């Protein structure tokens, strides 16, 4: 991102250091160090597609915090809104492949710098010139401070005409469904775009809605929501608007790692929005970026640059020379 340029998208949340195991952790072996966080994954995805992305968050005054900031800057993500906390460590995540394509995640984020995010970390000028604010349910689950930061950012976005994107992104290890729904339902009413897997919709929709269709209708009927994107895994995705529904099938690729696929989908969807694409074309880009994620190891490492989006049109086993 060019220094001094206004961001297209601002996102905020916790980015952690990640230790990835090649097998079950109890058996020991090598660990690979990287970084990841839902919101920064989206920022990296957008930056690789040529958009200006800003990540707001806290890291510890430690080597892992330095790694996170260096990694994001190397991916052209603006970290002007990031803060280094001298009194709390950078959060840590352990990732182990358990069976086939099932990955088990263990968090070490209680009391982390990222869990101390607060409204003062998101002054209104953070959104100056931005077109989209992207937030997730994960940040809301980290504690009162991060939740207050998300709410303050959403209020500032609404006041300044910035579109609000909300990814429900429920993490059962962070909070229960009932607590999440109490927070996410009012937040969804303030979002222009709500993104969720089909099993997460209930946490954002009217509690009286019992089917996916009814939940989508309840979201579109109340508040500011004008689009609902529903992720359907291997069945692709749907984009619902007051004018109808679009469906795009998933891209067929060999699955290596499903972690980060939802963030990749979101990056592709927002990229299409920024480029002025129609609903169908936006879904197709979102599914394409998501396919790159699941066909690669890591949360964001395999995300495509814009010039690479057409690679999936090539035959299986093709070599680019």
59: tokens are 């890291």
Can you tell me the distance from the alpha carbon of 10 to that of 124, in angstroms, rounded to the nearest whole number? 12
Nearest CA to 150 out of 137, 169, 131 is that of: 137
Can you tell me the distance from the alpha carbon of 236 to that of 286, in angstroms, rounded to the nearest whole number? 10
Please name the residue that has the structure tokens 């303050």: 152
Of 78, 167, 263, 299, catalytic:
263
Please name the residue that has the structure tokens 């001094």: 4
Can you tell me the distance from the alpha carbon of 191 to that of 188, in angstroms, rounded to the nearest whole number? 5
Pairing of strands 16-21, 92-99: parallel
180: tokens are 């999440």
What is each CA distance from 22 to 104, 254, 259, in whole angstroms?
12, 18, 15
Can you tell me the distance from the alpha carbon of 110 to that of 80, in angstroms, rounded to the nearest whole number? 25
> Which residues are CB-neighbours of 116 under 8 A, at least 6 positions away?
58, 85, 88, 145
Backbone angles phi, psi at 180, to 5 degrees: -65, -45
Helix or strand (DSSP H, E) at 213: helix 212-221
CB 276 within 8 A of CB 285: no
> Which residues are CB-neighbours of 127 under 8 A, at least 6 positions away?
10, 133, 153, 156, 157, 160, 162
Q: Is 199 a catalytic residue?
A: no
What residues act catalytically?
263
């Amino acid at each position: 991102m060019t220094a001094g340029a206004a961001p297209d998208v601002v996102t905020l949340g916790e980015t952690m250091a990640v230790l990835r195991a090649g097998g079950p952790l109890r058996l020991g072996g090598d660990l690979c160090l990287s970084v990841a966080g839902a919101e920064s994954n989206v920022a990296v995805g957008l930056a690789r597609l040529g958009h200006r992305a800003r990540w707001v968050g806290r890291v510890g005054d430690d080597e892992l915090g330095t790694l996170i900031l260096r990694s994001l800057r190397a991916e052209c993500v603006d970290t002007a809104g990031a803060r280094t906390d001298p009194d709390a460590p950078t959060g840590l995540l352990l990732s182990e492949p358990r069976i086939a394509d099932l990955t088990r995640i263990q968090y070490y984020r209680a009391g982390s710098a990222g869990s101390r995010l607060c409204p003062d970390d998101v002054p209104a000028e953070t959104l100056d010139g931005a077109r989209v604010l992207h937030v997730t349910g994960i940040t809301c689950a980290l504690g009162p401070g991060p939740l207050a930061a998300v709410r303050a950012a959403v209020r500032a976005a609404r006041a300044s005409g910035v579109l609000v994107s909300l990814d429900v992104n429920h993490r059962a290890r962070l909070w229960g469904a009932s607590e999440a729904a109490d927070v996410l339902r009012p937040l969804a009413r303030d979002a222009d775009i709500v993104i969720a897997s089909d099993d997460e919709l209930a946490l954002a929709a009217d509690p009286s809605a019992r089917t996916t269709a009814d939940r989508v209708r309840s979201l579109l009927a109340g508040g500011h929501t004008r689009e609902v994107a529903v992720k359907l895994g291997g069945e692709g995705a749907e984009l619902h608007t007051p004018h109808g529904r679009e469906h795009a099938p998933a891209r067929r690729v060999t699955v290596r790692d499903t972690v980060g696929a939802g963030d990749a989908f979101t990056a592709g969807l927002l990229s299409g929005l920024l480029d002025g694409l129609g609903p169908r074309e936006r879904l197709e880009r979102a599914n394409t970026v998501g396919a790159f994620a699941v066909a690669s190891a890591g949360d964001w490492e395999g995300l495509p640059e814009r010039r690479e989006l057409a690679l999936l049109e090539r035959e299986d086993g093709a070599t680019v020379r």
